[in-house]
């Protein structure tokens, strides 16, 4: 039985894709022998923006110092296997099928969400394979997220929090921060990235309640860019490092979070350099190099980014400003659950030309026309396109040397990466 077949069956076990509670997780984990209690030391990461990039830099730093890491992230872009990094490698198909099959057999037909049962499979895999660390990225929120079954993490990390997923986490920054801060555990150490005061107040209150020790950006550690270098400073001294491989001021902040984590773990200079130079994270200002889209536009630059909220729009705008001047065209596809106007507004000062597309295979996609209508309200010259390929053909007819940015959704990015990598 292959993993795709099993995953299709697992999708039918619960009527909702997202249903936040820990009850179903704890039940199945108990039946599996409590694998969450047998993991290598856990680094648990929550936040709205930068979780994946921060995890990638922490992992790159740990591996540069010789450590072996498990890692769990979501969503995947092209294949489910991307979610589970087992002892230094993307999980093999047979291993994935075996762990999913065992969880399915033990669970039976009892209701459990797709994310919950696949998280159980990841934890089971991690518990049965040796590694030095387990990096767990929260799927949604934190307090009731399926990953929050870890009672005694080595360290918790909270990246910047902003408004997103209001239908699940609340409509205010305080409400969302309360959910994210739910990963803080009693007597645990926590690294806190840059936060607005409203979010930070909630995090500090939760830390005080559970007795967690926080190292907070702007209080206990600092990071900034200076003369094309990254400077990090904490009570242990100053680090002068290359800028992170991942592009943008927001990645400098994420790098600071990663460095603060590595410092707490007692890592050395090889780890710090590795975090800066070796981290890869697809669909975060990723320049495409191969595939059919490159064939369509051999003289153009084609970039891909999966950010999808207002904060991501601002970060993307800043990242674009770091590139050499070149006329920019946007190809945008988004879900109808997102703040589309909030996302688009920061990008208007980088390009006035936008092509709207729908996301293939996604029920919650905005239609191309809906995307274009909002884009016009923002101020773009916007055109409906049948798909990304059609948009690129139209763009290169106008400017064969264009810079093209495909953006607005990780689901759109995943669709692109299935054919272009």
Please state the CATH superfamily assignment of the domain spanning residues 286-417 in this structure.
Mur ligase, C-terminal domain (3.90.190.20)
Q: Where are the domains of the chain?
A: 3-277, 286-417
- Whether 286-417 and 3-277 are alike in CATH topology: the answer is no
In this structure, what token pair is assigned to residue 92? 């093999």
pTM: 0.91
Q: Which of 96, 336, 66 has the alpha carbon at shortest distance from 104? A: 96
Question: For the chain, what is the HEC assignment?
Answer: CCHHHHHHHHCCCCCCCCCCCCHHHHHHHHHCCCHHHCCCCEEEEECCCCHHHHHHHHHHHHHHCCCCEEEECCCCCCCHHHHEEECCEECCHHHHHHHHHHHHHHHCCCCCCHHHHHHHHHHHHHHCCCCCEEEEECCCCCCCCCCCCCCCCCEEEECCCCCCCHHHHCCCHHHHHHHHHHHCCCCCEEEECCCCHHHHHHHHHHHHHHCCEEEEECCCEEEEEECCEEEEEECCEEEEEECCCCCCHHHHHHHHHHHHHHHHCCCCHHHHHHHHHCCCCCCCCEECCCCHHHHHCCCCEEEEECCCCHHHHHHHHHHHHCCCCCCEEEEECCECCCCHHHHHHHHCCCCCEEEECCCCCCCCECCHHHHHHHHHHHCCEEEECCCHHHHHHHHHHHCCCCEEEEECCHHHHHHHHCCCC
User: What per-residue confidence (pLDDT) applies to 167?
Assistant: 84
User: What per-residue confidence (pLDDT) applies to 397?
Assistant: 96
Q: Which of 377, 374, 407, 414 has the alpha carbon at shortest distance from 391? A: 407
User: What per-residue confidence (pLDDT) applies to 289?
Assistant: 93
User: What per-residue confidence (pLDDT) applies to 420?
Assistant: 81
State the 10-residue block means of pLDDT for the chain, 421 residues long: 95 91 97 98 96 97 98 94 97 98 97 97 98 97 96 97 87 95 96 97 97 97 97 97 94 97 96 97 92 96 94 93 94 95 97 97 95 98 97 96 97 92 72
Beta carbons within 10 angstroms of residue 159's beta carbon: 28
User: What per-residue confidence (pLDDT) applies to 137?
Assistant: 98
Q: Which of the following CATH numbers is that of domain 3-277: 3.40.50.720, 3.40.1190.10, 3.40.50.1100, 3.40.50.620?
A: 3.40.1190.10
User: What per-residue confidence (pLDDT) applies to 17?
Assistant: 85
User: What per-residue confidence (pLDDT) applies to 168?
Assistant: 84
């Amino acid at each position: 039985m292959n993993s795709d077949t099993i995953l299709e069956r697992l999708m039918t076990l619960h009527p909702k894709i997202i249903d936040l509670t820990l009850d179903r997780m704890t039940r199945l984990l108990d039946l599996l022998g409590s694998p969450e209690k047998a993991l290598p030391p856990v680094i648990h990461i929550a936040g709205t923006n930068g979780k994946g990039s921060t995890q990638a830099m922490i992992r790159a730093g740990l591996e540069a110092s010789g450590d072996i890491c498990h890692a769990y992230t979501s969503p995947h872009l092209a294949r489910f296997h991307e979610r589970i990094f087992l002892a230094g490698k993307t999980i093999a198909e047979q291993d994935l099928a075996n762990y999913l099959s065992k969880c399915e057999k033990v669970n039976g037909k009892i209701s459990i969400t797709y994310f919950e049962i696949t998280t159980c499979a990841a934890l089971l895999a991690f518990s049965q394979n040796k590694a030095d660390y387990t990096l767990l990225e929260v799927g949604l929120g934190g307090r009731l997220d399926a990953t929050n079954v870890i009672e005694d993490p080595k360290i918790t990390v909270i990246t910047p929090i902003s408004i997103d997923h209001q239908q699940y986490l609340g409509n205010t920054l305080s409400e969302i921060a309360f959910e994210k801060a739910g990963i803080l555990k009693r007597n645990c150490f926590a690294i806190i990235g840059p936060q607005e005061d409203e979010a930070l107040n909630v995090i500090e209150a939760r830390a005080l309640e559970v007795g967690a020790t926080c190292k907070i950006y702007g209080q206990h550690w600092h990071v900034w860019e200076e003369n094309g270098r990254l400077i990090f400073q904490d009570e242990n001294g100053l680090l002068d490092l290359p800028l992170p491989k991942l592009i943008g001021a927001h990645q400098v902040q994420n790098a600071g979070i990663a460095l603060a984590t590595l410092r707490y773990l007692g890592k050395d200079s090889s780890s710090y350099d590795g975090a800066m130079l070796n981290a890869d994270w697809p669909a975060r200002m990723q320049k495409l190099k191969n595939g059919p889209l490159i064939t369509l536009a051999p003289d153009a630059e084609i970039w891909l980014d999966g950010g999808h909220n207002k904060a991501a729009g601002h970060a993307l705008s800043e990242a674009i400003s770091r590139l050499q001047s070149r006329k920019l065209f946007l190809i945008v596809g988004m879900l109808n659950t997102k703040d589309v106007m909030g996302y688009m507004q920061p990008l208007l000062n980088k390009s006035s030309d936008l092509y709207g597309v729908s996301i293939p295979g996604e029920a919650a996609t905005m239609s191309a026309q809906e995307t274009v209508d909002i884009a016009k309200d923002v101020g773009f010259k916007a055109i409906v396109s049948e798909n990304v390929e059609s948009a690129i053909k139209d763009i290169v007819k106008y400017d064969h040397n264009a810079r093209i940015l495909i953006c607005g959704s990780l689901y759109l990015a995943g669709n692109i990466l299935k054919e272009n990598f």
